[in-house]
Amino acid sequence: MRNVGIVGVGHTKFGKSELPFIDMVCAAALEAMDDAGAKTGNKNVINQVFVGTMGAGMVSRISGIASAVVDTLNIRPAMAETIENGPASGASAIKLGYMAIASGMCDCVLVIGAEGMRAVSGWEGTDFVATMLHPEGEYKYGLTLPAFAGLFTRLCMDKYGLESRDLSIVSVKNHANACKNPCAHIQAPVVLERITNKAYINATNPIVADPLRQYDMCPVSDGAAAVLLVAEDKKAELGFGDKKFVKIAGIGSATDTHVVANREVPSDLLAVRLSAEMAYKMAGVGPADIDVAELHDAFQILEIAESEEVGFFKRGEGHIAARNGETALNGSKPINTSGGLKAKGHPLGATGVSQVVELVRQLRGEAGERQIPDAKTGLAVNFGGFGNNVVSTILTTK
């Protein structure tokens, strides 16, 4: 198969976007194109555009966003498709971009992930996200994603002795990292004592979905991120010869039962494990080779559980590694250097691409104050549904 890699990245500041949705999507795209030196109009070399978004049609009321982007950016007649895989839409779009180039059909693919979530009320937003749950077995009850995270967290607490404070430790770490990321939605340090002290915890960190508190879950954000993929054998010919090439070494994706209750072990995230194993196998690496990881911490419990499922720590010991600081910037296995979904923000379709942008910045040595010294190989896990469709991506400069 051909080698495929990234030569350009773009990322809007996550949060409440002041731009119309298409402008926000194009801002990320143009930043990635400019980073790579890709031209528009007659000099365009992009064959294909994929836009990963869960609800552009449903929430932002714009369907066919990929077609709109190609026209707005003046890169017609490039092929264009909008990709939906819930909150893993971004990583799925990158996967399809990889496949398009690896197959030989395309040489250069622009992938954008985007979501505008602040355009609607909290109620509507919660309902929109919940539509990915099983309609008969889950959604109709009023269940939401935070509800499933609460149910899952309690299972892990009962089974592994994980405590509410462990979730706060992960949250504090990710907030600290986000303070060093100019693209992050929330750039404010959080003090562990302030969100865990029993005397005032219900005021500073109220329960949202028992046992989960406000600081145990991500905020609601708008945002877009983009990467430009090229075939290594065409890199020079297409005009990207002098650009750093971050290789996509492995991609894995796997599905699990739609109904969470029907999983053989409801406290496991099987699709995370299977997708990571597939990505490791393709890349010819293992968990020990990963220098930096972006894990899908829509809820802090997920960072802990995923860190176990991808093989960094033994099952049931992820929270102990977090307690010991092993996942901090200066730890042995830095996780969510970007601030994670917790503090960088989680515009659903943007997240998978945003994770890969962070890895590219780390592997190029351009991550500023949050740089992991000498990072060569990174892993991103993008989690769709409540874990029923997960995409893992491994990048390397080795």
Partner 1 sequence: MDQMYAYKCTKCGKLHHPRYVVCQNPECDGREFEKLPLEGKCRLLTWTRVYNLPEGYMCPWLNFGIVEFENGVRVTGQIGFDEEIESGMELNATIGVVREKSILYKETVTAPQYGFIFQKA
191 three-state secondary structure: coil
Query: Using the rule CB under 8 A, is 34 a contact of partner 1?
Result: no
By beta-carbon proximity to partner 1, the closer residue of 158 and 233 is: 158
CB atoms within 10 A of CB 210: 11
The residue within the footprint of partner 1, chosen from 127, 163, 289, 317 (CB under 8 A), is: 127
300 part of the interface to partner 1, by CB under 8 A: no
Q: Does 316 bind partner 1 (CB under 8 A)?
A: no
Residue placing its CB nearer to partner 1 in the complex, 62 or 83: 62
Of positions 44, 60, 144, 355, contacts partner 1 by CB under 8 A: 144
Contact flag: residue 155 with partner 1 (CB under 8 A): yes
Min dist. Cβ of residue 151 to partner 1 (A): 5
Cβ distance 24 to 116 under 8 Å? yes
Pairing between β-strand 377-384 and β-strand 292-294 as defined by DSSP bridges: parallel
Q: Residue 147: exposed, middle, or buried by beta-carbon count in 10 A (0-12, 13-18, 19+)?
A: buried
34 or 141: whose CB is closer to partner 1?
A: 141
Amino acid type, 98? Y
| Among residues 134, 173, 185, 342, the one that binds partner 1 under rule CB under 8 A | 134
Q: Which of 141, 193, 236, 398 binds partner 1 (CB under 8 A)?
A: 141
Within 260-299, the residues that bind partner 1 by CB under 8 A are: 260-262, 266
Residue 5, Cβ neighbours under 10 Å: how many?
A: 25
Query: Which residue from 207, 278, 282, 320 is in contact with partner 1, where contact means CB under 8 A?
Result: 207
* Burial (CB count within 10 angstroms: exposed 0-12, middle 13-18, buried 19+), residue 242: exposed
If binding is defined by CB under 8 A, does position 210 make contact with partner 1?
yes
Q: Which two tokens stand for residue 16?
A: 């409440």
- CA 180 from chain centre, in angstroms, equals 18
- What string marks each residue from 84 to 123 as x (binds partner 1 by CB under 8 A) or -? --------------------------------------xx
> Does position 373 bind partner 1 by CB under 8 A?
no
Q: Among all chains, which residue has been given the structure tokens 């983009």?
A: 226
Residue with tokens 């562990």: 192
Assess 63 for contact with partner 1 (CB under 8 A).
Answer: no
Residue 294 region by backbone torsions, left for phi larger than 0, else alpha for psi between -120 and 50, else beta: beta
> What are 192's two structure tokens?
């562990």
Closest CB 153 distance from partner 1, rounded Å: 8
- Side by side, which strands form the sheet with 79-83? 79-83, 48-52, 108-115, 223-231, 4-11, 246-255, 389-396, 377-384, 292-294
140 lies in the binding site for partner 1 (CB under 8 A): yes
Q: How far is the CB of 55 from partner 1 (least distance, A)?
A: 14
Rounded to whole angstroms, the Cα distance separating 89 from 365 reads 27
212 in contact with partner 1 (CB under 8 A)? yes
320 membership: H or E segment, kind and range: helix 318-323
Shortest Å distance, C-beta 23 to partner 1: 28
Binding mask 219-258 for partner 1 (x = CB under 8 A): --------------------------------------x-
Rank residues 210 and 237 by Cβ distance to partner 1 and give the closer one. 210
Binding partner 1 (rule: CB under 8 A), the pick from 5, 8, 90, 150 is 150
**Alpha-carbon gap, residue 252 to 115, rounded angstroms:** 23
Query: Cα Rg for the chain, rounded, in angstroms?
Result: 20
Closest CA to 27 of 226, 172, 183, 175: 226
Q: Which residues bind partner 1 (CB under 8 A)?
A: 122-124, 126-127, 130, 134, 136-138, 140-144, 146-147, 150-152, 154-155, 158, 206-212, 257, 259-262, 266
